[in-house]
Structure 1
Amino acid sequence: MSIEAQTRNPFKRLHCKLFGHKYTVLRSYQTNKKEYECSHCKKQFTENDYGELETLTPKLRRINEVMEKFYIFKNTRRQSA
């Protein structure tokens, strides 16, 4: 049984469907992107280009990490020049 299956409780998911998610910041990047996690159903979200929340996939997490590395590289290069 996977960890994800153990943390997903049908009653907590029902709570989110009725009252909405309760977001907590999971990770904050310097590029002003944030990753959120619902404290009830443990579902993860990220901001898209328009500032709306969408479900966090491994592809989107990797995009956020690459953008963060590019941003840091660009700023360190700008400061040294």
Structure 2
Amino acid sequence: MSIKAQTKNPFKRLQCKLFGHRYAILRSYQTNKKEYECSHCQKQFTENDFGELEALTPKLRRINEVMEKFYVFKNARRRSA
């Protein structure tokens, strides 16, 4: 899974700078974390611990995936007990 590079079109980037990003949900986790992607410039974002959006890096994506695995494992153990 690689993170898409920024678009080369300067007008789409300018539109995001002037009017803001247009977010679309890219992935939603059971831990209530979400990953977003701008439909204009294709930048990807995720929520941090305070609920603010920050740029999605491979490290943050991996953290989201690991947190999801812990959450699913914990709930599976709780249901079986």
Q: Do 1:8 and 1:42's aligned partners in 2 also have CA atoms closer than 8 Å?
A: no
State the TM-score, normalized to the length of structure 1.
0.92
Identity %: 82
Corresponding residue for residue 77 of structure 1: 77
Residue 42, structure 1, aligned to residue 24, structure 2:
no
Structure 1 stretches of 4+ with a deviation exceeding 3 A read none
Corresponding residue for residue 64 of structure 1: 64
Partner Cα distance (1:8, 1:30) in 2: 34
Unaligned runs of 5+ in 2: none
What's the CA shift for 1:9?
1.6
Partner Cα distance (1:17, 1:59) in 2: 25
State the TM-score, normalized to the length of structure 2.
0.92
What is the DSSP-based 3-state SS (H/G/I as helix, E as strand, rest coil) of the residue aligned with 2:77? helix
Corresponding residue for residue 5 of structure 2: 4
The structure whose RCO (Cα within 8 Å, separation 6+) is larger is: 2
Q: Deviations over 1:47-68 (max 9, x none)?
A: 0000000000000000000000
Q: Deviations over 1:13-70 (max 9, x none)?
A: 0000000000000000000000000000000000000000000000000000000000
Which has the larger helix fraction?
Answer: 1
Unaligned runs of 5+ in 1: none
The root-mean-square deviation of aligned C-alpha atoms, in Å, is 1.2
Q: Do 2:5 and 2:43's aligned partners in 1 also have CA atoms closer than 8 Å?
A: no
What's the CA shift for 1:4?
2.7
Q: Partner amino acid for 1:9?
A: N
Q: Partner amino acid for 2:5?
A: E
